[in-house]
Amino acid sequence: MTQDEGTQLAELFRLLGEPNRLRLVAACLDGPRSVGDLTEEVGISQSLVSQHLRLLRAGRLLKQTRSGRNVFYDLPDCHVRTMLTNMMDHVLEPEDHSHEE
Amino acid sequence: MTQDEGTQLAELFRLLGEPNRLRLVAACLDGPRSVGDLTEEVGISQSLVSQHLRLLRAGRLLKQTRSGRNVFYDLPDCHVRTMLTNMMDHVLEPEDHSHEE
DNA sequence: TCAACATATGAACACATCCTAATATGTTCA
DNA sequence: TGAACATATTAGGATGTGTTCATATGTTGA
């Protein structure tokens, strides 16, 4: 892992390292969600949702699509979707301690 | 993903979301490293290395083993190792944009 | 065009975080 | 025991981050 790769990778983790932001991303894993839906689902203020969505957009973890009055957020491509899904699965799967030292 | 799982998972990502810490963990993926080795490999002060190692220990991403004057850091079990290795692989693998919208 | 809705932005504050410098703790060997 | 080495801790300052409140922008339908 080069110095630069490390910095980029850390930036990705940093974005996912805030509970509200992680929930926003997780909520989009099953398909596009409007800001209103996300606000309700995550249970924080609309303003705060928007602030976090801006960061996630800037980090290319979510993309924005307007449809009428609503703006929908979704993962930008299948690579990111696969990566995040796998990361979630790995981290959330029940731990097997049988091989611990 | 429950509220609580989200918080725990975010905490893991937060720890990996700092470049120096991420490099410390990455440096341990190939096997135990002494604090001295890590200090040299990551290129930051010994004090700072220790500070970050403490956080990684607290978050159970690394475990500590003393051997004489040296203290070695290593991943605590194969689950964590597998998880981190996969995460690195996924994130660092060259992106395939052919299916982007 | 105007009101109502949906989302985004800007400013400000409290708090967390990273870092450095100095020092403490623990270990080995003479 | 004491000097030298290896690692950990503490305190402090600078900077960053999450949040709220107020307000701006963009969109629809009457």
Q: Domain extents for chain B?
A: 10-90
How is residue A19 written in tokens? 């509970």
Confirm if B98 and B62 have CB atoms less than 8 A apart.
no
Give which of B58, B44, B48 is closest to B12, Cα–Cα: B58
* Residue closest to sugar C1' of C26 by CA: B69
pLDDT on residue A82: 86
Write out chain B's pLDDT in tens, 101 residues: 888 889 999 999 999 999 999 999 999 999 999 999 999 999 999 999 999 999 999 999 999 999 999 999 999 988 888 878 887 787 777 665 554 43
Lookup: tokens for B61: 């991403």
Distance (Å, whole) CA B2 – CA A98: 25
Residue A7: CB less than 7 A from any atom in strand D = no
CATH-assigned architecture of domain A10-92: Orthogonal Bundle (1.10)
Bridge partner residues of B74 (DSSP): B63
Assess whether B33 (CB) lies less than 7 A from strand C: no
Sign of CA dihedral A33, A36, A41, A45: positive
Which residues of A touch chain B, with CB atoms under 8 Å apart?
1, 3, 5-7, 9-19, 21-23, 26, 76-79, 82-83, 86-88, 90-92, 95-97, 99-101
B73 touches B28 (CB < 8 A): yes
- Do residues A24 and B17 touch, judged by C-beta distance below 8 A? no
- Which of A44-48, A95-99, B4-8, B66-70 has the weakest average pLDDT? A95-99
Q: Which of A29, A62, A89, A47 is nearest to B79 (CA)?
A: A89
Q: Do A1 and B11 touch (CB under 8 A)?
A: no
Pairing of β B63-67 and β B70-74: antiparallel
Please give the CATH architecture assigned to the domain spanning B10-90.
Answer: Orthogonal Bundle (1.10)
Per the CB < 8 A criterion, the answer to whether A22 and B31 are in contact is: no
Query: Beta-carbon neighbour count of residue B48 at 10 Å?
Result: 12
Q: Provide the CA B99 to C1' C15 distance, Å, integer.
A: 42
Q: What secondary structure letter does DSSP report for A100? A: -
**pLDDT score of B78:** 82
Q: Is the CB of B15 under 7 A from strand D?
A: no
**Confidence (pLDDT) at A95:** 61
d(CA A40, CA A21): 14
